Amino acid sequence: MARFSTADRLIQAARDKFAAKTYTSMNIALIMHELLVEGGGERQCVSLARALARQGHQVVVYTSAYDPVNCFPEVCKDITVVQIGRGFWPSLRNPAFLRGYLDMRHLARAVKQQHDVWNPHHWPAQWGAVWLKRKLGGAVLWMCNDVPNLDEKSRQGKSIGMIRAAIHRLYYLYDRAQNRKVDLTMFLSNWAESEFKAIYSGRTCVVRSGADPVRFSPGGNRQKIRDRFNYKPDEFVLLWLGIFMPHRRLQDAIEAISRPILHDAKVRLLLAGSGRSFPEYFSYLKDLAAKLNVEDRVIFAGKVEDDEVRDFYCACDAFLFPNENQTWGLAVLEAMACGAPVLVSKGAAVHEVLTDNENAFLFPARDPDTLAQRIDYLMNHPQERNRIAQAGMALVSTKYNWTEFAKQVSSICAQLAGKEDPSQTAPAQAKLQQPHNH
């Protein structure tokens, strides 16, 4: 298989903006450790697989564990998902490092088919990819959704204990050694890329994902959702949708609607998603709403079925994303595609592609007071809400959607595999960086 002989050739090709070449279909394997829930990383993996297949590539998704009912069944029905199964001691769940190692070893042994590019998503799928590269050839293009926190944990001896910290140091050193064998690491944001470069080496680039403008668009069943929760026509509904995790900072949203500026406002906070991943955090949020006497204005909607996500986006008057240390923010783009004005924390890296007061309303992370002020402004300026919503829809439809994302990924795959560029389009956002040595 043809390969680039030097890093300079690959980087120079990117600087030339991936000049259009003759179309060539590729055989691409996406790898995700688990496809069990409807999280952002899972949606990104399977949606990219579908978009690449629609471009004419041969695409397979490999995973250790797959739940076809609870992991985007509408998307996955259009792609090939191969469940390899767990490695040794399948009932073992912790430590996560060992579970990931055993599962990826099993996956690498089980897969026999050759692929031009191995595209692992998230950690530790890149381990399986580099072992498959050694076994079968091909190039590894890692989609690093979140930078592994192994190095961070290794420096927390006072809080987690010196022995655990030392173990995490060994984890980090092993992980870093495997990552050096990756041909190129992709990130969704500049912030995530910089976090990675501080502790890992290797070539990197930033490629932004987006929403499906066909699936996510205005026109969902707004009234069905509002009737379900007994919302009145004059009530202002703020929606958050996702999986409850501490870095979502939903306590800031609950505190914001308790502020005096919103005391008499007809504002309702609809928190939609599963709380089973972090039950203690979920309980804390419920207790906080009761403590601040806003439990009548906060509804925990539970898990949202995939075929109703669009209806939820269309039912809200604004979409709220108070997340912090978030490497991207796919839900923000989906809400924008459905015509919802968005309130986004600057702690979420998706804010890198948004402009305050132009296509979104931005606010500082961990600042319920400023958030309350922005909510109050939105409620009282419907024309501004509409202007922001229209600009947001235009941004997503032209730049941040699965078609554009897949074009950029396939162009990079073509370079790594030494094949012609199938996209015919220069992915302006994909800027490869020189390796950093540590």
Is residue 389 in some structural domain? yes
Task: Tell whether the model's pLDDT for residue 265 goes beyond 70.
Answer: yes
pLDDT, tens only, 136-181? 999 999 999 999 999 999 999 989 999 999 999 999 999 999 999 9
Is residue 124 in some structural domain? yes
Q: Say which range, 44-58, 360-374, 422-436, has the weakest mean pLDDT.
A: 422-436
Q: Do 233 and 136 fall into the same domain? A: no
Task: Tell whether the model's pLDDT for residue 15 goes beyond 80.
Answer: no
Q: Do 246 and 162 fall into the same domain? A: no
Find the mean pLDDT for residues 200-207. 96
Q: What is the pLDDT of residue 423?
A: 44
**Coil vs helix vs strand at 77:** coil
Q: Do 230 and 326 fall into the same domain? A: yes
Q: What is the pLDDT of residue 169?
A: 96
pLDDT band at residue 434 using 50, 70 and 90 as cut-offs: very low
Q: Do 139 and 167 fall into the same domain? A: yes
Q: Say which range, 134-138, 318-322, 398-402, has the weakest mean pLDDT.
A: 398-402
Q: How many of the other CB atoms lie within 10 Å of CB of 25?
A: 14
Q: Do 362 and 394 fall into the same domain? A: yes
Is residue 45 in some structural domain? yes
Structure-token pair, residue 186: 């992709």
| Domain, as residue range, for 147 | 7-210+401-417
Determine contact, residues 58/28, Cβ cutoff 8 Å.
Answer: yes
Structure-token pair, residue 119: 């595209």
pLDDT, tens only, 217-232? 999 999 999 999 999 9
Q: Do 51 and 149 fall into the same domain? A: yes
Is residue 435 in some structural domain? no
Is residue 98 in some structural domain? yes
Task: Tell whether the model's pLDDT for residue 266 goes beyond 60.
Answer: yes
Which alpha helices (H) appear in 258-381, and where do they start and end? 279-291, 309-315, 330-337, 368-380
Q: What is the pLDDT of residue 111?
A: 98
List, as own/partner pairs, every contact residues 405-408 make where C-beta atoms lie below 8 angstroms and the sequence separation is at least 24, other chains included: 405/48, 405/51, 405/207, 405/208, 405/209, 405/210, 406/48, 406/51, 406/52, 406/54, 406/55, 407/55, 408/207
Residue with tokens 């944990």: 153
Q: Do 155 and 246 fall into the same domain? A: no
Q: What is the pLDDT of residue 60?
A: 98
Phi, psi of 28 (to 5 degrees): -120, 130
Task: Dihedral sign for Cα 230, 231, 233, 235, please.
Answer: positive
| Bond preceding residue 73 cis, omega within 30 of 0 | no
Q: Do 389 and 405 fall into the same domain? A: no
Is residue 431 in some structural domain? no
Q: What torsion, rounded to 10 degrees, do the Cα atoms 101, 106, 107, 108 define?
A: 90
Q: What is the pLDDT of residue 429?
A: 42
Pick the closest to residue 179 from 138, 144, 206 (CA basis).
144
The number of folded domains in the chain is: 2
Q: What is the pLDDT of residue 23?
A: 46
pLDDT, tens only, 365-379? 999 999 999 999 999
Q: Which residues pair with 59 in a beta bridge?
A: 28
Find the mean pLDDT for residues 34-43. 91
Q: What is the pLDDT of residue 213?
A: 78
Task: Tell whether the model's pLDDT for residue 22 goes beyond 50.
Answer: no
Q: Do 250 and 160 fall into the same domain? A: no
Q: Do 154 and 226 fall into the same domain? A: no
Q: Do 331 and 358 fall into the same domain? A: yes
Q: Do 413 and 389 fall into the same domain? A: no
Q: What are the Cα distances from residue 143, in Å, to 32, 45, 118, 146, 414? A: 10, 9, 10, 9, 16
Q: What is the CATH number of the domain that holds 318?
A: 3.40.50.2000
* Distance between first and last Cα of the chain: 31
Is residue 423 in some structural domain? no
Is residue 217 in some structural domain? no
Phi, psi of 412 (to 5 degrees): -70, -40
CA distance 428 to 80: 30
Pick the closest to residue 319 from 247, 230, 388, 367 (CA basis).
388
Q: Please state, for a pLDDT cut of 90, what percent of the chain lies above it.
A: 83
pLDDT, tens only, 63-75? 999 999 999 998 9
pLDDT band at residue 276 using 50, 70 and 90 as cut-offs: confident
pLDDT band at residue 420 using 50, 70 and 90 as cut-offs: low
